[in-house]
Amino acid sequence: AAEEGFDPEEVEGAIEAAGHGPLPVLAVVGRPNVGKSTLVNRIIGRREAVVEDRPGVTRDRVTYEAEWAGRRFKVVDTGGWEQDVFGIDASVAAQAEFAIEAADAVVFVVDAKVGATDTDEAVVRLLRKAGKPVVLCANKVDGPSGEADAAYLWSLGLGEPHPVSALHGRGTGDMLDAVLEVLPEAPEQTFGAAVGGPRRIALIGRPNVGKSSLLNKVAGEERVVVNELAGTTRDPVDEMIELGGKTWKFVDTAGIRKRVHLQQGADYYASLRTAAAVEKAEVAVVLIDASESISVQDQRIISMAVEAGRALVIAFNKWDTLDEERRYYLEREIETEMGQVAWAPRVNVSARTGRHMEKLVPAIETALAGWETRVPTGRLNAFLGELVSAHPHPIRGGKQPRILFGTQAGTKPPRFVLFASGFIEAGYRRFIERRLREEFGFEGTPIHISVRVRE
């Protein structure tokens, strides 16, 4: 590396930065109007439209990447869900339930000016049961005079209340320091505890595509309830299901079965649920209703899985209803609408007739194998060397940027760092990704490529 003009320490740093596995998840929960969205904006350090785009507008984004003191993590914002037909208690409890379940740590936001309400107490009970680390945020402490209000919140029994003004940024740094103390380096529940255990599948898709029908079909009578979040719901959360001679854990199946008819916030609720399931899973099976046109919502759900870095299988359901014409148009739609995930294994199934159910497991296994693929550095560099000499980067400003060497920094999904002598254009990056896929497979997995340029 040194002779190529890179400082070895810089190379090592770049590999480490790119090689991080899945990020730990921090959920921000609390009653409406306590300042959750304002706090999330503060944490992610951007003035994103988290606060403005409410109410009534579909919010698909619920997780954001953040960084504090050199550590990266994800933040789940539950601020998008307004009070609904069940009344405030039920809605706050339900949203907190999903968020907490998918999280590695929780920031519980209380309005220090108002003090602890009954709803706050209800969330505290949920938090106790879940047993996840909690940092108590006493928000709306805009100045020193508010600190006394914060101190009252010791009564919640969650330890030290951290006085914060999400609006002005006061105290947020100290609170984030406390968060980092309790947030694990890697998402434990998904990738720590699960090692060697059953693989985790999230079956996701927009309403009525047939998720619950498919689950019933594959589960048959073998269904075993493995987890119940007591007190909030009697529905199973995760289920062990035997498929193709192996046991799989289908995560968050309660979200599939539970028929919650919400008026306000229903879309947001679905997004939160989907994001939570994806966070908990290793592989996402996105179900699409093949009898209808591929919709923006289908694409957003696919993007959630890809952005979260999960393995991906796409299943087109209701195949029994397709005539020749629809099949023709579906293929055209797939070409034009789903080019970005052409690498995902695809199965055409019918939950009704059971058609091609046996193809599901091989597709899932293929995707997981791609997700875990590691290319030895020697092989990678032999490949890159050949590629770069056969297809050099276009000359720009009289110079020719070159990929000098590269390494795979991590798996799940595969992450590469390439070191270059100059700026590498997006088109050339895509070309490299395409060739990497041709050469090494990576079926069913997103891959990340970052490029470091020699100064």
Tell me which residues in 386-405 interact with ligand GDP (CB under 6 A): none
Contact stretch for ligand GDP (CB under 6 A) within 99-107, 175-183, 200-208, 294-302: 200-208
Contact stretch for ligand GDP (CB under 6 A) within 31-39, 67-75, 218-226, 236-244: 31-39
Please identify, using beta-carbon distances, which residue of 268 and 419 lies nearer to ligand GDP.
268
Per CB under 6 A, does 142 bind ligand GDP? yes
Contact stretch for ligand GDP (CB under 6 A) within 139-147, 236-244, 302-310, 426-434: 139-147
Tell me which residues in 37-76 interact with ligand GDP (CB under 6 A): 37-38, 51
3-state secondary structure of 166: coil
3-state secondary structure of 276: helix
Query: Is residue 317 part of an annotated ligand binding site?
Result: yes
Phi, psi of 329 (to 5 degrees): -65, -35
Per CB under 6 A, does 34 bind ligand GDP? yes
Please identify, using beta-carbon distances, which residue of 211 and 452 lies nearer to ligand GDP.
211
Measured from the CB of residue 154, what is the shortest distance to ligand GDP in angstroms? 19
Measured from the CB of residue 57, what is the shortest distance to ligand GDP in angstroms? 14
CA pair distance 217, 211, nearest whole angstrom: 10
Per CB under 6 A, does 262 bind ligand GDP? no
Contact string (CB under 6 A) for ligand GDP, positions 348-367, x = contact: --xxx---------------
Query: Is residue 78 part of an annotated ligand binding site?
Result: yes
Tell me which residues in 208-227 interact with ligand GDP (CB under 6 A): 208-213
Q: Which residue in this structure is represented by tokens 């000016």?
A: 113
Please report which residue ranges of 58-117 form alpha helices under DSSP H: 88-102
Q: Which residue in this structure is represented by tokens 């680390």?
A: 133
Tell me which residues in 300-339 interact with ligand GDP (CB under 6 A): 317-318, 320-321
| Helices 377-390 and 426-440, packing angle to 10 deg | 130
Phi, psi of 146 (to 5 degrees): -85, -10
- Which DSSP symbol is given to 154? G
Please identify, using beta-carbon distances, which residue of 200 and 206 lies nearer to ligand GDP.
206
Measured from the CB of residue 168, what is the shortest distance to ligand GDP in angstroms? 6
Please identify, using beta-carbon distances, which residue of 139 and 189 lies nearer to ligand GDP.
139
Q: Which residue in this structure is represented by tokens 């006085």?
A: 163
CA nearest to 23, candidates 177, 188, 205, 151: 188
Query: Is residue 252 part of an annotated ligand binding site?
Result: yes
Q: Which residues contact 374 (CB under 8 A, 6 or more apart)?
A: 408, 411, 414
DSSP states along 41-60:
HHHHTS--TTTTT-SSS---
Query: Is residue 206 part of an annotated ligand binding site?
Result: yes
Query: Is residue 22 part of an annotated ligand binding site?
Result: no
Please identify, using beta-carbon distances, which residue of 97 and 443 lies nearer to ligand GDP.
97
Query: Is residue 81 part of an annotated ligand binding site?
Result: yes
Taking CB under 6 A as the criterion, the residue among 19, 21, 32, 198 binding ligand GDP is 32
DSSP states along 280-345:
H-SEEEEEEETTS---HHHHHHHHHHHHTT-EEEEEEE-GGG--HHHHHHHHHHHHHH-GGGTTS-
Per CB under 6 A, does 165 bind ligand GDP? yes
DSSP states along 171-229:
THHHHHHHHHHHS-SS-IIIIITTTTS-EEEEEE-STTSSHHHHHHHHHTT--EE----
Q: Are strands 224-225 and 239-243 parallel, antiparallel or unpaired?
A: antiparallel
Measured from the CB of residue 97, what is the shortest distance to ligand GDP in angstroms? 17
Q: Which residues contact 96 (CB under 8 A, 6 or more apart)?
A: 27, 29, 30, 78, 123, 126, 127
Count Cβ atoms within 10 A of the Cβ of residue 426 and give its class: 0-12 exposed, 13-18 middle, 19 or more buried. exposed
Measured from the CB of residue 318, what is the shortest distance to ligand GDP in angstroms? 4
Taking CB under 6 A as the criterion, the residue among 55, 159, 192, 207 binding ligand GDP is 207
Contact stretch for ligand GDP (CB under 6 A) within 177-185, 205-213, 228-236, 272-280: 205-213
Joined tokens for residue 128:
């106790």
- Which DSSP symbol is given to 396? B
Taking CB under 6 A as the criterion, the residue among 25, 26, 29, 35 binding ligand GDP is 35
Phi, psi of 67 (to 5 degrees): -145, 135
Contact stretch for ligand GDP (CB under 6 A) within 85-93, 99-107, 204-212, 307-315: 204-212
Question: Which residues belong to the annotated binding site for GTP?
Answer: 30-37, 77-81, 139-142, 205-212, 252-256, 317-320
Provide the binding-site residues for ligand GDP, judged by CB under 6 A. Answer: 30, 32-38, 51, 79, 139-140, 142, 165-167, 205, 207-213, 256, 317-318, 320-321, 350-352
Question: Which residues belong to the annotated binding site?
Answer: 30-37, 77-81, 139-142, 205-212, 252-256, 317-320
